[in-house]
Structure 1
Amino acid sequence: MLAALAVTSRHCRHQMELYGRCVATNPESWQRHCHHLRLDVTRCAAEHPIVQRIRQECSEPFAAFEQCLKQNPTSVLSCSPQVKAFLLCADQVKP
């Protein structure tokens, strides 16, 4: 999840900023008031060509990260090597 967030924040920065501002200004009701902005972030990530390529070309390191999270649900930090491997792969994907 952290790796996906890092990639999304890099390529969907505008949508993430709008969503973050909405959450910050609506602390009591952000789930309701900011839902459409969360969907914008999700849509951007799903539709962005570089994110699609990262999903395709880095599926193995991402799967290893997900597997690590499943095996270590209470110790996310133990998955740092898998996160680094995924981010390294994502950084090498050419637009």
Structure 2
Amino acid sequence: MQAAMDITAKYCHKEMEAYGSCVTSNPSTWQQTCNDLKMKVAQCTSSHPVIQKIRQDCSKEFVMFEACLRENQDKPTSCSPQVVRFLGCAEAVDLRGVDTNPVPQPT
């Protein structure tokens, strides 16, 4: 998971910063208010092989986490168990054979 976080930070830092700031600034409406920024992070990360592999292997856990966030928009910290399950899954993903250093595509 650390590799995926490093890759996301490396290639999508600007998008992640903007999304994080929006979520922090809008604690009760972030799900709607920050959706465009969330989509920008998703678009940025979706092209990286490590992140694609984690999304594929841990899709069930991620869907459960997102559902929890939708149901608890005013108290996202209540989704900690779902975060723990997703992170545990992501840590266990076998990244052998996955190109962790692809050449970034120009935008």
TM-score bracket for the superposition, by shorter chain length: 0.5 to 0.7
Please state which structure has a larger fraction of its residues in helix.
Answer: 1
Query: Residue 58 of structure 1 corresponds to which residue in structure 2?
Result: 58
Distance across 1 between alignment mates of 2:44 and 2:73: 28
Query: Residue 101 of structure 2 corresponds to which residue in structure 1?
Result: none
Per-residue deviation, 1:54: 0.8
1:15 aligns with 2:11: yes
Query: Residue 102 of structure 2 corresponds to which residue in structure 1?
Result: none
Count residues in correspondence: 72
TM-score by length of 1: 0.60
| Residue identity in the other structure for 1:83 | V
Per-residue deviation, 1:13: 2.8
The CA RMSD over aligned residues, in Å, is 2.8
Distance across 1 between alignment mates of 2:77 and 2:57: 24
In the TM superposition, structure 1's runs of 4+ consecutive aligned residues that sit over 4 Å from their partners are 41-44
Q: Where does structure 1 lack aligned partners over 5 or more consecutive residues?
A: 1-5, 24-38
Q: Where does structure 2 lack aligned partners over 5 or more consecutive residues?
A: 19-39, 96-107
Per-residue deviation, 1:61: 0.5
